[in-house]
Amino acid sequence: MGKPTGFLEHERQLPADRAPLVRIKDWREFHLEFDREQEAREQGARCMECGIPFCQTGRILPGGASGCPVNNLIPEWNDLIYQGLWREAYERLRMTNNFPEFTGRVCPAPCEGACTLGMSEPAVTIKLNEVSIVDRAFAEGWVKPTKPELRTGKTVAVVGSGPAGLACADQLNLAGHKVTVYERADRIGGLLMYGIPNMKLDKMEIVQRRVDLMADSGINFVTNTEIGKDISAEQLQDQFDAVVLCGGATKARDLLVEGRASEGIHLAMDFLKANTKSLLDSNLEDGNYISAEGKDVIVIGGGDTGTDCVGTSVRHGCKSVTQLEIMTRPPDERAEGNPWPEWPLVYKLDYGQEEAAAVFGDDPREYLVSTQRFVSDDDGNLQEIHTIGVKWEKGEDGRMNLIEIEGSEKILPAQLVLLAMGFTGPEKPIIRELALDTDPRGNVKAEHEDYRTNVDGVFAAGDMRRGQSLIVWAINEGRGAARECDKFLMGESSLP
C-alpha cells in the first residue's frame, strides 16, 4: 500500500461531465477526464488495499451483484496508479478484463458498492481509475493485437457478438483456436453497438476500435447472418469443432394492456437500435429511426434502458418526457435492510434524468404508477396514456402485492411511448433447432463455471444462460465458457 493515509487525505472526486444543456446538442460521450495526472493519482491513493478486498470478487447477494465478477485486481492497480506506474497498472488490468474501455464506461460498478471504504466514506473511484488506465494505454500505444504463437487446428463458432461473445472469442483465440463470430446485425458489438447510446459508449472510437484489434488478432467476424435463418444450427455443428451460444436475453417484456396496438408505442430496444444505426449510417439524415421530436414522450420502466430512452428523446427535441416506474422511489441513503457490501439501492440522478431536468425543470420520473390503457385517435395514432397510482403491501403468504389506489387515476398526453421494462429471456428459434434444455425461466440450461448444454460440443454463456444481467457478468461468463470449451477441445486449458 503506497499511501496508508490516502483515504484520510483525499476526498472522492470525479471529473465533471459536460454540461447537460451543451451535451444534448450532440451524440458525443458526455464524460470528461481529469486534466491533471495528479488528480488521478490521488484517487488511486484512496484505496486502502484491504486485507480482504470485497471489491474484486463478484458474488450475488440479496440486494444484487456485489464486487467485481471479472475479479479485477483492483487494489493492485489502484496502488500502481498512485505510484505513477501506468504501464504496470494496465498489465494488471488486462489480466482479468478483456474490455476495460467498455466496463469503465457503462458498468454500474458493483465493485464500488462493495468497497470497504464505502462503509463510512464515499467509495474509491474504481470505475474511473479503470477507464483512466485503459484510455492511457490506448493513447500510449500499449494495446496491441494478441495473436497466438501457435494454432491448434481446432475451430469454434461463437454466436452473438455482445460482451459475452466477444470475451469468449478473445480468449479462445488466445488459446490458439480459429474463431468465427456470427452476428445477425450489420455491425459487431451486440448491445454494446446498438443497445447503448453513443453518448454513453462511442461506437467508432471505442467499440469498433476493439473489434478491429480482435480482427487483427485473427478472429473472423461475420455480420448480417442469423443462425437458424441464414445458416442452420446443424450446419454450424458440422462446420465447427465446438459452438458457443452468446445470443443474449433479447426477448423484451411487453405491456399488453388496452390500446397496445396504437401507433406510437415501441419497445425501447427498437427505438435505441434504430437511432444508433441511423446515427452511424447517416448522422440521422436518412430518417430511418423513431423520432421523438415535438412529441410528449412516456418512458415506461426504469433502469439503464429507461434512462437511455430519456436521454435520446431529449436529444431529439421532444416536447416533454415522463418516466413511469412501478416501484417505490429509492431512499437517499442505504436502507437498514440493504447493508454493505450489497449493491446500494439508493436514489440517483443518472445522465438522462439530469438532462431532462435541465430542459424541463425536474426529474422526469414518477414512482408507484401503473399503466391502465392507451388511447388513440380515429386513425389509430396514440394520444393519451391512462395511469393509476399503486402501493405495495405484503400478503399473508409473505409476498408483496400490488394494490391500486382508488382516485389516483391520471391522463397524460402521449404521442410516443417507449417500453423499457427489461427482458424475459433469449429468443427461441436456435434453442428449438438444437433441442437445448432450458431452465424454468426459459434460459439455456447450463451450469455456471461449466457452461456445457445437453448437446455435446455446444456451450452457452452470458444473458442467454443466466438471464438479463450486467456487462461484467457477461464478460465473466464469456471467459469461463472459453475455458471450458478449450478443455473440451484439448483435454485441458491454461485459460483462467
User: What confidence tens digit (pLDDT) does each residue in 1-31 have?
Assistant: 678 899 999 999 999 999 999 999 999 999 9
CA neighbor of 418 nearest in space, from 276, 260, 271, 279: 271
pLDDT higher than 80, residue 311: yes
Q: Mind listing the pLDDT tens digit for each residue in 169-222?
A: 999 999 999 999 999 999 999 999 999 999 999 999 999 999 999 999 999 999
Looking up cell 444534448 gives: 24
Q: What is the pLDDT at residue 3?
A: 83
Homologous superfamily of the 6-140 domain (CATH): Alpha-helical ferredoxin (1.10.1060.10)
Q: Select from 118, 239, 165 the least CA-distant residue to 464.
A: 165
Q: What is the pLDDT of residue 50?
A: 87
CA dist 400 and 421 (Å) reads: 19
pLDDT, one tens digit per residue, over 226-283 is 999 999 999 999 999 999 999 999 999 999 999 999 999 999 999 999 999 999 999 9
Using 50, 70 and 90 to split pLDDT, how confident is the model at 33?
Answer: confident
User: Could you check whether 6-140 and 254-421 share the same CATH topology?
Assistant: no
pLDDT of residue 367 exceeding 70: yes
pLDDT category at 64 given cuts 50, 70, 90 is: confident
Structural domain boundaries in the chain: 6-140, 155-250+424-490, 254-421
**Considering the entire predicted model, what is its pTM?**
0.95
pLDDT of residue 1: 62
Q: What is the average pLDDT across 71-88?
A: 96
Mean pLDDT of 61-66: 78
In whole angstroms, what is the distance from residue 452 CA to residue 487 CA? 11
24 vs 87: CA distance, rounded Å: 35
Cα torsion 287, 288, 293, 295: sign:
positive
Query: What's the pLDDT tens digit per position in 436-486?
Result: 999 999 999 999 999 999 999 999 999 999 999 999 999 999 999 999 999
Going by C-beta distance under 8 Å and a sequence separation of 6 or more, which residues neighbour residue 324? 298, 299, 300, 301, 365, 366, 369, 371, 387
pLDDT-above-90 percentage for the chain = 91
* Architecture per CATH, 254-421: 3-Layer(bba) Sandwich (3.50)
Give the model's pLDDT for residue 398: 87
Q: Is the preceding peptide bond at 341 cis, omega within 30 degrees of 0?
A: yes
**Amino acid 192: pLDDT:** 97
Angle, helices 209-216/163-174, rounded to nearest 10 degrees: 30
Give the SS3 label for residue 194.
helix
Could you read off the pLDDT of 99-156 as tens digits, one per residue? 999 999 999 999 999 999 999 899 999 999 999 999 999 999 999 999 999 999 999 9
Pairing state between β 382-394 and 410-413: antiparallel
Report the top-level CATH class of 155-250+424-490: alpha beta
